Amino acid sequence: MNIPEKLPAHVTIIMDGNGRWARQRGKDRLTGHMEGIESVRAVVSASRELGIKYLSVFAFSEENWNRPIAEVGGLMKLMVRAIKKECAGFVKNGVRMLVVGNRDRLPAEVLEAIREMEDATAACTGMTLVVFMSYSGKWDIQQAARRMAEAGGDDIEPFLATAGIPDPDLMIRTSGEKRISNFMLWQTAYTEFVFVDTLWPDFRKEEFLAALEEFASRDRRFGKVK
């Protein structure tokens, strides 16, 4: 497949379908999440090769805290292992990682792994991977509005959890679901959406390039007439 001539500066992905992928194979849900990490690795690699400057992934929503305790605990441990495993490779390849979300709810071991990764990759300039953890769009707008009022400001954007990160040009959601599930409600006002049927653990470079091709075919007018 040819590389699209028009590439987004920021691609964000709602990684959906890990549980269904595991269930189809008679495995536990955590196995699906583990395989999903391979998809993250593939998309990060492809983004770096293509020159996409920002890639973000919706890893864990505030609503996900309502899942069974065992699954949440397993996910937290999996995230810690994944962060520690990828750290050296990110530094080598110039990938900066940022975590956005309500950190007050994250376990201490997760916060420590995040801090170590963010510190280690702070000087990396090749691309930025933004991981949304314990995040919801409503929470983001509410906390930003509160902080804006306290500061006596009149522009909410500098107070959003994503301040300093460009709004996404393209949002991809896997598994056939066609909704944004309380994700970056403010920031996606003019984002192009691409919904694909592929379950996240099966999403690799080929599927990513197909979504980029779809984006490249869109005529983005931002409310203007061309």
* Candidate list 28, 64, 93, 182, residue with the active-site label: 64
The amino acid sitting at 19 is G
Strands 127-135 and 10-14: unpaired
- Specify the pLDDT at position 4: 75
Q: List the beta strands (DSSP E) in 117-188.
A: 127-135, 170-173
Taking residue 206's Cβ as centre, other Cβ atoms within 10 Å add up to 11
Q: List the beta strands (DSSP E) in 36-125.
A: 54-61, 95-100
Active-site residue, 2 included: no
pLDDT tens over the chain, length 226 residues: 567 779 999 999 999 999 999 999 999 999 999 999 999 999 999 999 999 999 999 999 999 999 999 999 999 999 999 999 999 999 999 999 999 999 999 999 999 999 999 999 999 999 999 999 999 999 999 999 999 999 999 999 999 999 999 999 999 999 999 999 999 999 999 999 999 999 999 999 999 999 999 999 998 887 776 6
Active-site residue, 16 included: yes
- Specify the pLDDT at position 2: 66
* Candidate list 16, 140, 167, 169, residue with the active-site label: 16
